[in-house]
C-alpha cells in the first residue's frame, strides 16, 4: 500500500470474500476510518441471482460487524444490467468475446465507490484487487501486483485515472497465501466465501442458455481458411476464437475457430498453426502515454503471460502492436494491456479486422 501522508475516511468495496475482508483489516491497522460498501448487482435479472445478492450482503454485513465498521448497501442493478450485462450480450451477438469484469470496474465499481465516498465526505476508495499504484514519470500509474499469479491489474486498465488517484489497493504487495494466513490468524475464515471463476451473472455458468434468452441464433456456414464449405453452425454467439470443442465438424486434423464474421454469420476454421498473429489492432483505447519506448510487454488475456513487444503505433484512436513472437488466438472483444516493468501504460479492445 502507498503510505504518502494518508489518513482519514476510506470507502471499501466489501464483497464478503477473503480479499476485501483482509483489505479492510489492513486499512484499519493503517489508521483509516473504514466504511464497507456492498453492491446489489442482480435485482431484476432472475430470482436465483437475487438470492445470490442477498447472500453476498449477509456475508459482508457479518464481516463489517465483526470488524466494527459501518456497512452500506448500494443498489447498482439498473446500471449493472445496462452497462455490463448489456455489453456482454451485444458483444456475443456480434461474434466478440467480452470481459465483463473490465467493464464493471470501469463503469460500475469505481464510479459508484467514488460516489459513495463523496456522499459521506471520504477522500479515499479501496478494493481488494491485487494491484499497485506507483509514481512513474512524475504521475500516478497503475502497476502489477507483487504476486504475479494473482495480479489483477489487467482488469483495471480502463478505470479512469481520476478514480485511481484516490484509490488504495492494500493487497498489492501481498501474496494470496499471505492473505489467507492473515484471515486464519484473525479468526475470519468463517465469514469468507469460496472464490468463483464463473461469470457472476450467469446462473449455473450455462452461457448458451443465458445468451439464448436475448439472442435469436442465426445458423450459418462454417468454412476453411480458403473459403471451402465445411458445414453449418448454430449461431455465432456460441463460438469464440481459438475454440476447438463443440464445432460439429469432422476433419483429418484438429480444427479451431480462427475468425468469426458477423456480417455473413460465417465462421472460419483453421489448424493450430494458423491461429497465431504477430500484428494486432486495438480500438476503444485507454492510454496513459502516446509515445512508447521499447522494451514493452503486453497481455492479450488475463491468464496470458505478458509477451515481448517489438513496436507500438498510435493513430486515429487505434493502437497497433507488433509482438516479437506470434501470439495464439487473438480474440475480438478481449483486451490487450501494455506494461513497462510492470507499470500499466494502457490498452484497448481487439478489433474484428483480420489484418492490419
Question: Which of the residues are catalytic?
Answer: 104, 200
3-state SS, residue 282: strand
Q: Which three cell numbers stand for residue 88?
A: 456482454
Contact 81, 44 (CB under 8 A): yes
Buried b (16+ CB within 10 A) or exposed e, 65-98: eebebebbeeebbebbbebbbebbbebbbebbbb
3-state SS, residue 82: helix
**What is d(CA 79, CA 83) in angstroms, rounded to the nearest whole number?**
6
For residue 262, the tally of other CB atoms under 10 A from its CB is 16
DSSP label at 109? I
Closest by CA position to 122, among listed 33, 24, 5, 1: 33
DSSP label at 194? P
DSSP label at 154? G
Closest by CA position to 345, among listed 281, 286, 278, 284: 286
Task: Give burial (CB, 10 Å; 0-12/13-18/19+) of 190.
Answer: exposed
* Residue 88, H or E segment: helix 86-93
Residue found under cell 485515472: 161
Q: Which three cell numbers stand for residue 167?
A: 484509490
**What is d(CA 313, CA 334) in angstroms, rounded to the nearest whole number?**
19
Amino acid at each position: 500500500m502507498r503510505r504518502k501522508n494518508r489518513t482519514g475516511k476510506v470507502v471499501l468495496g466489501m464483497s464478503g470474500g477473503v480479499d476485501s475482508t483482509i483489505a479492510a483489516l489492513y486499512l484499519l491497522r493503517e489508521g483509516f476510518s473504514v466504511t464497507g460498501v456492498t453492491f446489489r448487482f442482480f435485482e431484476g435479472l432472475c430470482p436465483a441471482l437475487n438470492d445470490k445478492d442477498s447472500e453476498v450482503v449477509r456475508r459482508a454485513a457479518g464481516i463489517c460487524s465483526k470488524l466494527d465498521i459501518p456497512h452500506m448497501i448500494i443498489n447498482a442493478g439498473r446500471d449493472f444490467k445496462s452497462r455490463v450485462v448489456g455489453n456482454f450480450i451485444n458483444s456475443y451477438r456480434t461474434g466478440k468475446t467480452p470481459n465483463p469484469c473490465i467493464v464493471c470496474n470501469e463503469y460500475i465499481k469505481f464510479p459508484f465507490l467514488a460516489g459513495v465516498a463523496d456522499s459521506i465526505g471520504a477522500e479515499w476508495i479501496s478494493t481488494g484487487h491485487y494491484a499497485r499504484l506507483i509514481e512513474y514519470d512524475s504521475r500516478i500509474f497503475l502497476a502489477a501486483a507483487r504476486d504475479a499469479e494473482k495480479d489483477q491489474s489487467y482488469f483495471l486498465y480502463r478505470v479512469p485515472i481520476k478514480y485511481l488517484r484516490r484509490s488504495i489497493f492494500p493487497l498489492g504487495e501481498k501474496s494470496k497465501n499471505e492473505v489467507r494466513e492473515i484471515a486464519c490468524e484473525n479468526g475470519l475464515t468463517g465469514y469468507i466465501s469460496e472464490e468463483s471463476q464463473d461469470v457472476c451473472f450467469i446462473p449455473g455458468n450455462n452461457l448458451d442458455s443465458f445468451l439464448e434468452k436475448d439472442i435469436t441464433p442465426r445458423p450459418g456456414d462454417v468454412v476453411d481458411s480458403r473459403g471451402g464449405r465445411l458445414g453449418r453452425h448454430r449461431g455465432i454467439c456460441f463460438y469464440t476464437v481459438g475454440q476447438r470443442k463443440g464445432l460439429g465438424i469432422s476433419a483429418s486434423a484438429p480444427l479451431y475457430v480462427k475468425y468469426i464474421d458477423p456480417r455473413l454469420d460465417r465462421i472460419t476454421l483453421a489448424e493450430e498453426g494458423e491461429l497465431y498473429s504477430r500484428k494486432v489492432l486495438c480500438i476503444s483505447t485507454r492510454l496513459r502515454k502516446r509515445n512508447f519506448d521499447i522494451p514493452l510487454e503486453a497481455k492479450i488475456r488475463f491468464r496470458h503471460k505478458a509477451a515481448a513487444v517489438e513496436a507500438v503505433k498510435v493513430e486515429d484512436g487505434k493502437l497497433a502492436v507488433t509482438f516479437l513472437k506470434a501470439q495464439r488466438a487473438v480474440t475480438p472483444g478481449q483486451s490487450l494491456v501494455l506494461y513497462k516493468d510492470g507499470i500499466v501504460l494502457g490498452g484497448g479492445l481487439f478489433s474484428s479486422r483480420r489484418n492490419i
